Structure 1
Amino acid sequence: MSSGAQPSHPNVTPKTQPDLTLTGTLDREATHRLCEEARSLLRARDDADTLVCDVADVGPPVLSAIDTLARLQLTARRAGGRIRVRNPAPALRELLHLVGLPIEIEMDRQAEQREPPGRVQEAVEARDPPL
């Protein structure tokens, strides 16, 4: 799985409200509740097969968070769908990549912060070819 931006699903755009919002530390009880909610959401839909899960406020990226996301993915697949996580912290993204969990990742586009013009000075290396 690549941790880079994935192509957007036609039914889900970055402006779409998330279907599920995961917050805090995820335990067994929260995982069970989220899986039941995901199953209900997918059964109620006719056209969309992707559940968007906002994980921006998930606690530290521990294996319980990975377990929850894996169980959500399995629940969604059994119901004929899949999940996409939105805004994972860099550490959670890396952990997802390391365990190889095939989940799509969606990042909100943030404006790039740059230095004001004229304030950045680049060093020229002696081995750099001339322009």
Structure 2
Amino acid sequence: MTARFAVGATLSRSDIPVLCADLAQLLCGRPATVVVCDVGVARADVVTVEAIARLRLTARRHGSRLVVAGAGPDLLSLLDLLGLGADPGP
């Protein structure tokens, strides 16, 4: 089963716990093997990378794998640089 989750265009560090709680709620009682995280409008910055890393951890805690979708080349490069380019799975 696949779940979809979107990240907004502008993020602050204070948004990250809320995003993680929203994802946990989405996955609670409704297990998904893959969470497709749409970051198409997100900026390529450190806060977005931190959000993706923490969302990936949240997904793993619920037995799911987080896959980033819609990322631009700058964000993909930044994720690769920091070792977050591909999620090998739970």
Matched, 1:34 2:37: no
Report % sequence identity: 36
Partner of 1:75: 58
Compute the displacement of 1:28 (Å): 2.1
Cα distance in structure 2, aligned partners of 1:44 and 1:34: 18
Task: Write the distance in 2 (CA, Å) between the matches of 1:45 and 1:103.
Answer: 23
Note the aligned Cα RMSD (angstroms).
1.7
Higher helix proportion: 2
Gapped regions of structure 2 (runs ≥ 5): none
TM (normalized to structure 2)? 0.84
Query: Which range moves more in the overlay, 61-70 or 18-27?
Result: 18-27
Largest Rg, 1 or 2: 1
| TM-score under structure 1 length normalisation | 0.60
Change (3 A) 1:65 1:75: same
> Which secondary structure does the structure 1 equivalent of 2:41 belong to?
strand
Gaps of 5+ in 1: 1-10, 13-17, 105-131
| Structure 1 outlier segments of 4+, above 3 Å | none
How many residues align? The count is 87
Aligned to 2:34: 50
